[in-house]
Structure 1
Amino acid sequence: MRSNLVKERKSKDLTRSELADKLGIAEITVRKIEEGNRNPSPQMAKKFALFYKKELDYLFPDIFLIKFDTKRNKNSSY
């Protein structure tokens, strides 16, 4: 679950359906993105970021923060 996305939506007192209408997407898309069952396209992620006026790494830390990268070699010197 992408808790920051849910928190931001609830702080604006929006349902998933209302948010979907505002972003011009399907409600099921909002649900799947919030639950982490679907990753947004770069354009879709930008829509969320612009709507909430928040950084991408805050809204989608599992995608945009290196520390959540489970595929990177742990012995790497990065």
Structure 2
Amino acid sequence: MRNKLVNERKRRNLTQKQVAEALDISLVYVRKIEKGERNPGRETMLKFEKLFGIQDRILFEDLFQVCYDT
């Protein structure tokens, strides 16, 4: 689960439906993004960034982690 994303939405007293409408994406997609079942594309990440005023690297930190596999 993407806790920072969920916590930010709740802090602003927004429902998943309200977020979906504000970003012009489906409610199901918002749910799956929050659960970590789907990864948003760059455009969608920027929509979340603009809505919450928080960098996408913070909201979706799992997608920006660097892993050195040797």
TM-score range, shorter chain: over 0.9
Could you state the TM-score of these two structures normalised by the residue count of structure 1?
0.84
**Partners of 1:36 and 1:16 in 2: CA distance:** 14
**Partners of 2:43 and 2:19 in 1: CA distance:** 16
Who is 1:17 aligned against?
A: 17
- Root-mean-square deviation (Å): 1.0
8 Å CA contact 1:6–1:34 kept in 2: the answer is yes
Q: Percent of pairs identical after alignment? A: 39
Cα shift at 1:55: 1.0
Who is 1:63 aligned against?
A: 63
Who is 1:50 aligned against?
A: 50
Could you state the TM-score of these two structures normalised by the residue count of structure 2?
0.93
**Higher relative contact order, structure no. (Cα contacts within 8 Å, ≥ 6 residues apart):** 2
Equivalent pairs counted in the alignment come to 70
Greater than 6 Å deviation, 4+ residue runs: none
**Which sections of structure 2, spanning at least 5 residues, go unmatched?**
none
Per-residue CA shift, 1:26-70, capped at 9, x if unaligned? 00010000000000000001100111110111100110122xx3x
**Which sections of structure 1, spanning at least 5 residues, go unmatched?**
none
| Greater C-alpha Rg | 1
1:36 matches 2:36: yes
